[in-house]
Amino acid sequence: MMETGKGPTVTIRVFGFLQRYMDEQGLPYTLERNVSGEGCTAHDLARRLSIPPEKIEAVFCNGGVINIYDTISPGDRIGFFPHGTPGPYRVFLGMARENRERSRRESELFQNKVFVESRL
């Protein structure tokens, strides 16, 4: 778990049933966490908060949808949303587009991992 304190931070809000992961740790649904000056991916941040990334359907950064593998930077405002958003809103908010991109990136990561492992 990342410690809060001096240094660059991001503000994180957790919505819907993802809040249970915060409850299990005794953490609030809105909190700040330190990040390095280079930032980190939303995927890494979720893991540091013990939120399974596969339970997250959308990541909002500063009011817009981003991919879970995109980098977040100090000062950003992040929101983690669970699966279950109604269809029209998923398209309107850009969630459907980012989920297609997420699938593409995960497929590439899996293929590269299999290729590297097969060469060992």
pTM over 0.85: no
Q: Domain 9-119 class?
A: alpha beta
DSSP three-state, residue 81: strand
pLDDT tens per residue across span 40-72: 999 999 999 999 999 999 999 998 999 999 999
**Distance, CA of 57 to CA of 16 (rounded, Å):** 11
Query: Could you tell me whether strands 9-14 and 56-61 are parallel, antiparallel, or unpaired per DSSP bridges?
Result: unpaired
**What is the torsion angle, in degrees rounded to the nearest 10, for the CA atoms of residue 85, residue 87, residue 92 and residue 95?**
60
Task: Tokens 């998923």: give the residue.
Answer: 90
Residue 102, pLDDT > 80, answer yes
Domain ranges, ordered by start, for the chain: 9-119
What does the radius of gyration of the chain's CA atoms come to, in whole angstroms? 15
pLDDT given at position 116: 47
From start to end of the chain, where are the E strands? 9-14, 30-34, 40-41, 56-61, 64-66, 71-72, 77-82
**Distance, CA of 57 to CA of 45 (rounded, Å):** 15
Residue 119, pLDDT > 60, answer no
